[in-house]
Chains A and B, each alone.
Chain A
Amino acid sequence: MTAQHSAGLWQLAWRRLRADRWAMAALAVVLAFLLTLLLSASGLIVADWEQEVAVSFAPPGWAAAAAGSGAGAPLNDTDALLRDNPFDPLADDLRALRSELGRPDGKASLPMYGVTDPLADDLAQLRAAHGAGGTTGATGARLATLPFGADKWGHDVLKKTVKGGETSVVVGLVAALLAVALGTLLGALAGYWGGVVDALLNGLYNIFTAIPSVLMILAVAAVLQQKGVLTIVLILGLTGWTGPYRLIRAEYLKHKGREYVLAADAIGASHWRKMFVHIFPNVSHVALVQLSILVVGFIKAEVVLSFLGFGVPVGVVSWGSMLNEAQNELILGRWWQLTAAALAMAVLVTAFSLLTDALRDALDPKVKF
């Protein structure tokens, strides 16, 4: 028997986690995401994501051929607009119209119902002044393809995804922390004290869960009255505490009668001490697992919120706002923005879920070897 510092439960948990190959892979992915987030937040990478580096809707380089005819060469705006969309049910009609347009006498052939454009001359002058280059003239040569394509304004989708992840992951993490902290505190109070406190808090819980969650989120959004990352964090945090509350409350109910708590009582430990120094470390695995489950849920919720228009303000990019844009683009066959955001989200969420599962097993004080 030596005076060695023996492995604590956290060390044991880490040892168990390390033995799990899937968990370690998931952890690596999550850490990579967090590292990217830190770098982009500090402006070391993708600070230039807003530069319009490519032509509008430049396809990914590796899929240029599949993306449509003429993608290889710089596109002319009209061409881009009028390109055939294989998914369009009106494609035949459009083609007929286009052949009409294509006649040598130009636009005059389109019937204007007798209305003449009053600005036609001014526009013609402006165009002439700008030169033949059209819209691409100002920034010089734009790229025809990008590694993962470009959006409507010609932003690099890859950089946009990294930048968007910054918002989404921060929202997910901070909101989940808030929700779990709130749920743990209220759950501990309800479970430990029981009686009136428990009844009141359960009432509050019932009110929160009785309202459909999207409605609840919209209601909080309406009260907060402003768009922003902080608002989303508050919305999700204030509506998401119910799950952890229920579980933590049950754990406290179970643990408050345990002998080690009675023993703490016998030596005169205060209620606060019993709740958070004695019991909490023994139920912390529940809170931790809830945290990781909520992170996943909230990243998805931010997407839904942004999609509904209650998300991040204009000018801030997130995976949610990317998906929001993507719904219009998809009709036009521009799938790459959707793919990039969805892929990033799926990888992170899957890795986080795997990590969560492994964490739950590793942290359960009942499992030991």
Chain B
Amino acid sequence: MLEIRDLRVSFRTDGKHMAEVVHGLSFSVAPRSTVALVGESGSGKSVSALAVMGLLPPESTSIGSGSSIRFDGRELLALDRSARRALCGRQIAMIFQDPMSSLNPVLTVGTQIGEVLRLHLGMSRAQARQRTLELLDEVGIPDAAHKIDSYPGQMSGGQQQRVMIAMAIACEPQLLIADEPTTALDVTIQQQIIELLARLQQRRDMAVLFITHDLGLVGQIADEVVVMRHGHVRETGAALDVLQQPQDEYTHALLRCRPVAGERPARLPVIGDELLNDGLERPVVPVLAKLAEAQAPASAPATLAVAPPQIGSVAENAPPLLVVNNLSKHYQIRQGWWRQREFRAVDDVSFTLARGQTLGVVGESGSGKTTVGLMLLRLLQASGGSVQFDGRDLLAMPASEFQAYRRRIQIVFQNPYASLNPRFTVAQILLEPLRIHAIGQNDAQRLAMAASLLDKVGLPASALQRYPHEFSGGQRQRIAIARCLTLQPEILVCDESVSALDVSVQAQVLNLLKDLQQELGLSYLFISHDLAVVQYMSDQVMVMQQGRVVEMAPADQLYRQPQQAYTRALLAAIPGHGHRLARGETATTKLS
């Protein structure tokens, strides 16, 4: 139905130069089928989707002359603007990644869906309202008659995405393009949205072009897969074939470098060692020796049965480095003029962390996991509880005394694009903590220390003179880690430290963290929404929900025998969970 041949898209970089970002993409979408377009950031998958919709800004982009996008036998690129617009929206609809920014916050959802109906189908106001109610019902919004008059801000993220879907299917399109529709959502919500999409597709006989970075989702929803990298197609084929027997090295590596819940190899395989080369175009990406090297231990995976037994015993014997008791954070929310309501962001959280161990904290957004991390470093004032570090209460001591403890507990933030000051060079970033804490005798000595730290996190010393914006996400996160290491901390709080990174880069950073832990004996408080990553990294895992600890158990035990319903729900929602399990088993069977 949709047929793309040799699509080439170029962006204007500055004034005159054009840089091609999609190099001859070809694939087709059959009626009633789902095609997944998979790739990491910068692979050109979203750009291709926008090209189909005709949403690329004409002043800064151009589509190659040999390109062709045919929909139902009509050449889209040859249509004029108004014909294109009439087609898009009616027969091709699109859902975007972030429902919060795709919906107009000052109009009710009913108005916004109704607008589509009235514009494209020429319905009257009353008809549109009636149809909107049916649509909201269809996408599973409870109490649609009431919700139709609410504003996007009054709905949760999952409901907003349902509204977006309702808007997209309003005109009964033949093709639905979903651009990372679940990336901004919590994992349990993601599951619901995926199921909804699959159901709608069945009922309405739509074709779906599903764009995602997550191969795990692909197995659940797609019939066909197109794997992209740097604007090139790496592999095309039926979803199951690609997932189980990937022909392309890159696909293969992509599948392996995500930690799989239930498997705990010592290291994750990574794609090439692309230090300081990210974003550079390479026609053939060799999966470097590291992958092959990693495959050897990975082929003897420390699966469930072989879970290292010593971990639990070490945790018991080692004296706890950090003891947190009844930590809580309350906010007063004003209601009306006089009344106040207490909101417990973190409620009565207690845990211990031993030297050289990792405590994973997992939870969905709003569970209070980040708040816990910030309170440990006194970046946020706790409302109650105590944090015993080496026998001293961090929360009770005066600020001047805490300064000495700052050296011993450090934090790596989620977004490496935001946590490095864009106006500082890497040298300035690394030297600042050394100067503040008077480590090293003079700047020359400190510079040498900074260079050796960069080396430790896998960056060349030449990086010192550069600014953060010149680095890729993974490299920036390495710089952020190096900044923490300058103070030689004993505890590192990793607050969603790999969540903003691409899968392959994520694997590199996770490996780095593991190496550093072994080398320096660090303790980690590893906070993430991603159960698979947490399970891979941690000795102990703490599951949080709405500010409370739901369950705390050794990582393997938590995965094998979750005690609480919420934990089970989280585990079940991991994309491709069942499929992954099957693969894990095949790996073991192959071994035996």
Report A's interface with B, CB cutoff 8 A. 1-6, 8-9, 19, 258-260, 262-270, 273, 278, 281-282, 365, 368-369
- Per-residue CB contact flags for chain B residues 448-474 toward chain A (1 = under 8 Å, else 0) read 000000000000111001110110000
Contact of A368 among B432, B433, B469 (CB under 8 A): B469
Identity of the chain A residue whose Cβ is nearest the Cβ of B493 in the assembled complex: A266
A1 → B minimal CB distance (Å): 5
How far, in whole Å, are A267 and B378 apart by their CA atoms in the complex? 11
Q: Contact: A282 with B377, CB < 8 Å?
A: no
How far, in whole Å, are A19 and B14 apart by their CA atoms in the complex? 10
Q: Contact: A260 with B420, CB < 8 Å?
A: yes
Q: Contact: A1 with B460, CB < 8 Å?
A: yes
Q: Which residues of B contact A267 (CB under 8 A)?
A: 406, 410, 432-433, 436-437, 483, 486-487
Q: Contact: B276 with A1, CB < 8 Å?
A: yes
Contact of B467 among A8, A258, A268 (CB under 8 A): A8
B435 → A minimal CB distance (Å): 10
How far, in whole Å, are A282 and B468 apart by their CA atoms in the complex? 13
Partner-contacting stretch, out of B25-33, B66-74, B411-419, B504-512:
B411-419
Identity of the chain B residue whose Cβ is nearest the Cβ of A279 in the assembled complex: B421
Given A266-B411, A267-B483, A269-B432, the answer on whether A259 and B465 have CB atoms closer than 8 Å is no
Q: Contact: A6 with B465, CB < 8 Å?
A: yes
Given A1-B462, A258-B418, A260-B421, the answer on whether A9 and B413 have CB atoms closer than 8 Å is no
Q: Contact: A369 with B14, CB < 8 Å?
A: yes
Q: Contact: B422 with A263, CB < 8 Å?
A: no
Identity of the chain A residue whose Cβ is nearest the Cβ of B463 in the assembled complex: A1
B586 → A minimal CB distance (Å): 41
How far, in whole Å, are A267 and B410 apart by their CA atoms in the complex? 7
Q: Which residues of B contact A368 (CB under 8 A)?
A: 469
How far, in whole Å, are A3 and B466 apart by their CA atoms in the complex? 9
Q: Which residues of A contact B465 (CB under 8 A)?
A: 3-6
Q: Contact: B419 with A259, CB < 8 Å?
A: yes
Contact of B379 among A258, A266, A282 (CB under 8 A): A266
Question: B518 an interface residue at 8 Å Cβ cutoff?
Answer: no
How far, in whole Å, are A6 and B413 apart by their CA atoms in the complex? 26
Identity of the chain B residue whose Cβ is nearest the Cβ of A284 in the assembled complex: B423
Question: B135 an interface residue at 8 Å Cβ cutoff?
Answer: no
Q: Which residues of A contact B418 (CB under 8 A)?
A: 258-260
Given A267-B406, A267-B487, A268-B433, the answer on whether A278 and B467 have CB atoms closer than 8 Å is no
Contact of A268 among B374, B406, B413 (CB under 8 A): B406
Q: Contact: A3 with B462, CB < 8 Å?
A: yes
Question: B381 an interface residue at 8 Å Cβ cutoff?
Answer: no
- Count contacts on B: residues with CB < 8 A to the other chain: 39
Q: Contact: A263 with B437, CB < 8 Å?
A: no
Q: Which residues of B contact A264 (CB under 8 A)?
A: 421, 432
Contact of A269 among B436, B460, B461, B462 (CB under 8 A): B436
Question: B403 an interface residue at 8 Å Cβ cutoff?
Answer: yes
Q: Contact: B421 with A262, CB < 8 Å?
A: no
How far, in whole Å, are A34 and B414 apart by their CA atoms in the complex? 48
Q: Which residues of A contact B436 (CB under 8 A)?
A: 267-270, 273
How far, in whole Å, are A267 and B432 apart by their CA atoms in the complex? 8
Question: B398 an interface residue at 8 Å Cβ cutoff?
Answer: no
B residues 375-416 in Cβ contact with A at 8 Å: 377, 379, 403, 406-407, 410-411, 413-415
Question: B94 an interface residue at 8 Å Cβ cutoff?
Answer: no
- Per-residue CB contact flags for chain B residues 470-490 toward chain A (1 = under 8 Å, else 0) read 100000000010011011000
Q: Contact: A262 with B15, CB < 8 Å?
A: no
How far, in whole Å, are A4 and B463 apart by their CA atoms in the complex? 9
Q: Contact: A263 with B413, CB < 8 Å?
A: yes
Question: B150 an interface residue at 8 Å Cβ cutoff?
Answer: no
A126 → B minimal CB distance (Å): 74
Q: Which residues of B contact A266 (CB under 8 A)?
A: 377, 379, 406, 410-411, 484
Most chain-B CB neighbours within 10 Å: which of A258, A262, A365? A262
Q: Which residues of A contact B407 (CB under 8 A)?
A: 268
Most chain-A CB neighbours within 10 Å: which of B276, B407, B413, B470? B413
Given A3-B465, A5-B465, the answer on whether A369 and B13 have CB atoms closer than 8 Å is yes
Rank and list the top 3 A-B pairs by shortest CB-CB distance, nearest first.
Answer: A281-B423, A259-B419, A267-B433
A259 → B minimal CB distance (Å): 4
B383 → A minimal CB distance (Å): 18
Q: Which residues of A contact B462 (CB under 8 A)?
A: 1-4
Q: Contact: B467 with A6, CB < 8 Å?
A: yes
Contact of A263 among B13, B276, B419 (CB under 8 A): B419
Q: Which residues of A contact B410 (CB under 8 A)?
A: 266-267
Q: Contact: B480 with A263, CB < 8 Å?
A: yes
Q: Contact: A262 with B422, CB < 8 Å?
A: no
Q: Given contacts A8-B467, A267-B436, could you give 8 more A-B pairs where the C-beta distance is less than 8 Å?
A: A1-B460, A259-B415, A260-B418, A260-B419, A260-B420, A263-B483, A269-B432, A281-B423
Q: Which residues of B contact A273 (CB under 8 A)?
A: 436
How far, in whole Å, are A368 and B487 apart by their CA atoms in the complex? 32
Q: Which residues of B contact A269 (CB under 8 A)?
A: 432, 436
A267 → B minimal CB distance (Å): 4
B451 → A minimal CB distance (Å): 11
15 contacts between A and B (CB under 8 A): A1-B462, A2-B462, A8-B467, A259-B415, A260-B420, A262-B379, A262-B411, A264-B432, A267-B410, A267-B483, A268-B437, A269-B436, A273-B436, A282-B421, A369-B14
Q: Which residues of A contact B483 (CB under 8 A)?
A: 263, 267
Contact of B419 among A1, A262, A282 (CB under 8 A): A262
Q: Which residues of B contact A4 (CB under 8 A)?
A: 462, 465
Identity of the chain B residue whose Cβ is nearest the Cβ of A2 in the assembled complex: B462
B431 → A minimal CB distance (Å): 11
Most chain-B CB neighbours within 10 Å: which of A1, A2, A5, A258? A1
How far, in whole Å, are A259 and B374 apart by their CA atoms in the complex? 11
Contact of B423 among A6, A19, A282 (CB under 8 A): A282
A292 → B minimal CB distance (Å): 20
Q: Contact: B469 with A268, CB < 8 Å?
A: no
How far, in whole Å, are A172 and B62 apart by their CA atoms in the complex? 47
Identity of the chain B residue whose Cβ is nearest the Cβ of A278 in the assembled complex: B421
B407 → A minimal CB distance (Å): 8
Q: Which residues of B contact A369 (CB under 8 A)?
A: 13-14
How far, in whole Å, are A269 and B486 apart by their CA atoms in the complex? 14
How far, in whole Å, are A365 and B460 apart by their CA atoms in the complex? 25
Q: Which residues of A contact B480 (CB under 8 A)?
A: 263
How far, in whole Å, are A3 and B410 apart by their CA atoms in the complex? 30
Identity of the chain A residue whose Cβ is nearest the Cβ of B421 in the assembled complex: A260
B417 → A minimal CB distance (Å): 9
